[in-house]
Structure 1
Amino acid sequence: MDEELTQKQKKYEDDPFDRNLKNEMFVTESKRRMITNEVTVEDIVRERSINLFKNKCRIFRIPPDFREFISKQ
């Protein structure tokens, strides 16, 4: 998606009055932001869920390979 946006930016530099291109760039950038926000929310939910689980189920031990999965970003 970044490559697509970079290409559109180059085209926009050539023709700054192209409204269609400007709208496409806006849509692409909006999609990128939405995806970034979703990933951030997923990370927060994953972290809070595992912390809650740890607090409620203290006897249970988390396997090391699962810890690696949890810490992925």
Structure 2
Amino acid sequence: MALFYLRSSDHDLYAIHSIVYHASQEIEASLTCFKDPPFPWFSVSTSAVAFIAIFYVYAKRDKLFRNKRKQF
């Protein structure tokens, strides 16, 4: 009985090997080079402008918000 299972597993292993071998013969490997994505100038410039605007408002806060202060 064990010899039967041994021969059966040997045939199964050979069948799996032949399936994998034939499948690998049909697969074609190719190497495709791609270009790097462009630099995100729009988002960088928008962030820089927003940072400069926030810094400007922070630096000039006394002058910009003077009339809104309570004066005694």
- Pick the TM interval, shorter chain: 0.3 to 0.5
Q: Normalising to structure 1: TM-score of the pair?
A: 0.37
The higher relative CO (CA closer than 8 Å, separation ≥ 6) is in 1
Q: Which structure dedicates a bigger proportion of its chain to helix? A: 1
Larger radius of gyration: 2
